[in-house]
Each structure stands twice: as C-alpha cells, then as structure tokens.
Amino acid sequence: MNNFLLLPIIIPFFFAMILMFGQKNLKYQRITTILGLIISIICAFALLFNVKENGPQSLTLGSWPVPFGITMVSDMVSALLVLTTLLITFFIVWYGFGSIGKERERFFYYPGVMFILTGVNGAFTTGDIFNLFVFFEVLLMASYLLIVLGGEKAQLRESIKYILVNVISSALFVITVAYLYSVVGTLNMADISVKITEINQPGIVTVIAVLFLLVFGMKAAIFPLYFWLPNAYAAPPIPVLALFGALLTKVGVYAIMRTYTLFFTHDLAFTHELLLVLAILTIIAGSIGALAHFDVKQIIIYNIVIAVGVILFGVAQMNEVGLEGAVFYLIHDMIIKAALFMLIGIVIYVTGTTNLKKMGGLMKNYPSLGWFYLIAALGLAGVPPLSGFIGKLLIIQGGFQAGNTWSSIFILASSIVVLLSVIRIFIYAFWGEQGQVSNNINKTTFNIMFFPTVLLVFISILYGVGTEFIVPFMDDAAKVLSDPSIYTDAVLKGGN
C-alpha cells in the first residue's frame, strides 16, 4: 500500500513523457493530459484516505535501510497538498483549452504542465533534503519552458530575470544542504530532525536555518526577496499564470513550513521570531503593491505575496492551532488564487485589456461572471463562511495563544486591505458606464473558460461551508507539524 505514495509523482511523469510525442495532434494532447490528471487525482484520494486511516506512510527506495536510502514520505500535510495540486491543475488545463492558444498547445505545453506536477508532488512527498532540491529543479525546468511559451517580448525579458533568480537560489540551496550535511552527517529529513535534537541546535545550525529561510524565501517570495515575482508572473498567458500563482510559491512555503517545524525547533526565540517579522513585512509589502496597481494581474499577484506572509505567520507561532490555520489557509489560497486568476483571465478576454481604468459596465452583459468574481473575492478576504475565514481565524487564535497580540490584530486588519484591493476590480470592471470591450469574443471560447472556473469557485465555497468535514484532516496535519516525533517515527521505525 505504501507504493501509492509514489503514484501522484510517477503518473504525471509517465504522461509527460508520452505527451512529448504527437505535438501537432491537439486532440491526443488534450485527452491524454486529462486522462493522466484524472488517474492521478484518483490515486491522490486513495493516498489521502490511506494516510487518514493508517497514519504517515514511508517508502525507502532500493530496499536500503533508513536513513541511507532515498525515502519518500506521505503524511497528512503532504497528501492534502498533492491532492489539491492535482485538482487545481485539472481545472486550469480544462480552462486552457479556450485560452492558451493552439500554437502554444502544440509547443510542449502539456508535457510542461505534467513535468511541473512531477516536481511539485515530488517536493511535497520527498523525505530527503537533497531530493527536495532535485524536485525543485524538475519543476523549475518545466516552468522555464512555460514562462517563455509563445515567445512574446515581455515573456523573454522577464524569463531572464526569473531564471537568474532561481539559478542563484538553487546554487545557495546546494551550498546550504552541504553545510547541513557537514554538521549532522545525513540527508534524511527525519534523521536530520533526530540529529539536531541530539546536539540541541548549536549556533551553526541556527545559521543554516537562516540560510534555508533565504533559499526557500526566494522561492516563496517573502520580503524582501519577492522583487522578481510581480513582473515575471504577469508575463505568461493566464493558464500559466494561474498554475504558477497557485502552486510554485506554495512549494517554497511548504519547504519553510516543513523545515521550521521538523528541524529548526530548538532556537525559537531567534529563528521563528525572524520568520514572524519577515511574515509581517511580507504582508505590508504585498498590501502596498495590491493597492498601488490598476492592472488586474498585478493586483492578484501581489495578493499572492500577502497570503505567503499570512501562512508563514501561522507557522511562526509554533503551536497546534496556528499550524492548523497555516495548513488550512495554504490550501484555501491555492484554490482561490487559481480561481481568481481564471476569473480575471475571462475579464481580460472580454475587455481586451488589463487596465482597470479602461473597464466598466460588465455586469450588464456578464452578470454571472460578476457574481462569481465577487464570491471569490470575498473568499480571498476571509469573509465568513467562505474558505479564507477558518484558516485566518485559526492563525489569529494561534497568534493570541503565543502572546503575539498586536501582530495578530495586524493580520486581522490586513483582511481589510485584501478586500479593498479585490473589490476595486469588482467596482471598476463590473459597475459604472460601459468600458472597453473586445471585438473578438467567441461564445464557445467564453464557455470553455467559464465552466471550469465556476466549478473551482464552487469547490472553494464547499471548502469553507464544509469545514466540519475537513477539520479531522487538518487536525492530523497540525499534529504532524507540531509533534515532529510522529514524522520521525513513521520513517525511522518503519511507520505503517
């Protein structure tokens, strides 16, 4: 049964390889991709319920004893993120049938998407810190293809910056892993946790913790390392932007969450206080960007930065409530960001512009689009009973429990900024006098984009309204993060 944890990685990788052939046959490319995603989603559901039933699952490849072999681990955090990733990608790929463009579809778009899934799911599942680097590189190589797909001038310009940042980050990642190995003598994440506990995290390990925060912070776009993200993410077409916005920064967030709850837990006064300060600064920076722009892409992109800060604030509390809120909010943000990017993609398709000042009056002809956008916007801001409410409430509760009263109040206040930034799009684009409208609107294309978007918004509503059904899974995830022994026992003692 443990082999199930490899399937959400192996299946996308297998389908990515067979999609390398028959690039000109769009029907083959589309059907094969959807088939691969459906099979992967079924396996991810099976894995999730297996973890729920039997606890964290581990598999060491090649029958090597732990910690010498390469270990893959699926706990509740990993299983939830893998399932969410696959579901979101399914809707984005469906949405892309109407918006990515046939020329892009014929140029390795679908293999690129499946290779990104391989890297993202691998990063969520690996139990080896060096293999985390390897899976990061897999997803980054695929993202290099997708960011330049179409070869527009803005894409090529921003891709250079994107690649440079990630090359520097990856080099620093390898150096930091080497430093860590020189101190603890192992790469297995469970074994690293045990070894650091034995030596009680001396100063050198705290320095390594800060270096890891620098590495993962660059990938997660925390303050002040987010400088590359707004323009780089705005350059590719909307389906690629939705995929990047929903998934890529979240892998960096997950890496911080995992290392700062599993390894670096013995000098909280420094490491987690630093994380808390950076989380608050990240929220401030994102809020300024979201309010300053009149470009709909940039407004939602800066909201990615805000959400990263909110999640990491929950992680910094290092109590079960805060960590449960962080996981809750992380999955909410993946779903709602994908939905919002898809919604603004439809708005851009209808108006032919990304400039809010040129939009207006869409509610008259597209009322359904307007109301679904409003629901998604309210969900992002955490208006009850929508999906963002519970996660943020738990994070704030965790902050109060940890004695961080004023910073918790600040997190609560940041919801007003988020709401203001996204409601501005609703007011400018959907109300008032008729603004710019594209002359090339195709009803079939509109419907292909609209239906998967609506379904994803419904999923976000269910995630909020159906909280009581989701809480048991989130409780398990929070327990694993707050008690590293659950993870280490599953790996080092054979687990289940």
What is the Cα–Cα distance from 358 to 238, expressed in whole angstroms? 19
Structure tokens at 313: 């604030």
Residue owning tokens 């894995």: 47
pLDDT at 2: 63
328, 322 Cβ separation under 8 angstroms: no
119, 142 Cβ separation under 8 angstroms: yes
CA 178 to chain centre: 27
Angle at 256 between CA 83 and CA 319, to 5 degrees: 90
Angle at 395 between CA 85 and CA 315, to 5 degrees: 65
Smallest Cα–Cα separation from 155: which of 244, 23, 247, 249? Answer: 244
pTM: 0.93
| Torsion angle, alpha carbons of 68, 74, 78, 82, to 10 | 110
Structure tokens at 323: 């960590």
pLDDT at 273: 92
**Residues composing the chain:** 496
What are the φ/ψ torsions at residue 126 (nearest 5 degrees)?
-65, 145
Smallest Cα–Cα separation from 248: which of 232, 224, 227? Answer: 232
pLDDT at 442: 82
Mean pLDDT by 10 residues, the chain (496 residues): 80 93 88 94 93 88 78 92 95 90 85 94 92 92 89 84 90 93 90 87 87 92 88 89 91 93 87 92 93 91 93 92 93 94 92 87 89 93 87 92 88 90 91 80 87 94 89 91 89 66
What is the Cα–Cα distance from 116 to 240, expressed in whole angstroms? 11
Q: Quote the longest CA-to-CA distance of the chain.
A: 69
Residue 224: asked if its preceding bond is cis (omega within 30°), the reply is: yes
What is the Cα–Cα distance from 318 to 79, expressed in whole angstroms? 21
pLDDT at 461: 93
Say whether 401 sits in a helix, a strand or coil: helix
Long-range contacts of 358-361 (CB under 8 A, 24+ apart): 358/435, 358/436, 359/428, 359/429, 359/435, 359/436, 360/428, 360/429, 360/430, 360/431, 360/432, 360/433, 360/434, 360/435, 361/430, 361/431, 361/432, 361/433, 361/434, 361/435
* Sequence spans of domains, the chain: 267-465
What are the φ/ψ torsions at residue 404 (nearest 5 degrees)?
-95, 65
What is the Cα–Cα distance from 112 to 93, expressed in whole angstroms? 11
User: Which residues are bridge partners to 71 per DSSP?
Assistant: 60
pLDDT at 23: 82
pLDDT digits (tens, 9 = 90+) for 287-312: 999 999 888 999 999 999 999 999 99
CA dist list (Å): 118 to 111, 169, 316: 10, 20, 29
pLDDT at 221: 87
What is the Cα–Cα distance from 33 to 359, expressed in whole angstroms? 35
Smallest Cα–Cα separation from 70: which of 78, 59, 81? Answer: 59
For 220-262, give the DSSP string.
HT-TTTTTTHHHHHHSS-HHHHHHIIIIIHHHHHHHHHHHHHH
Question: What's the start-to-end Cα distance of the chain, in Å?
Answer: 10
237, 101 Cβ separation under 8 angstroms: yes
pLDDT digits (tens, 9 = 90+) for 392-447: 999 999 999 988 889 889 988 888 999 999 999 999 988 878 878 877 888 888 88
pLDDT digits (tens, 9 = 90+) for 85-139: 999 999 999 999 888 888 888 888 999 999 999 999 999 999 899 999 999 999 9
pLDDT at 495: 45
What are the φ/ψ torsions at residue 324 (nearest 5 degrees)?
-65, -40
Residue owning tokens 């059904």: 469
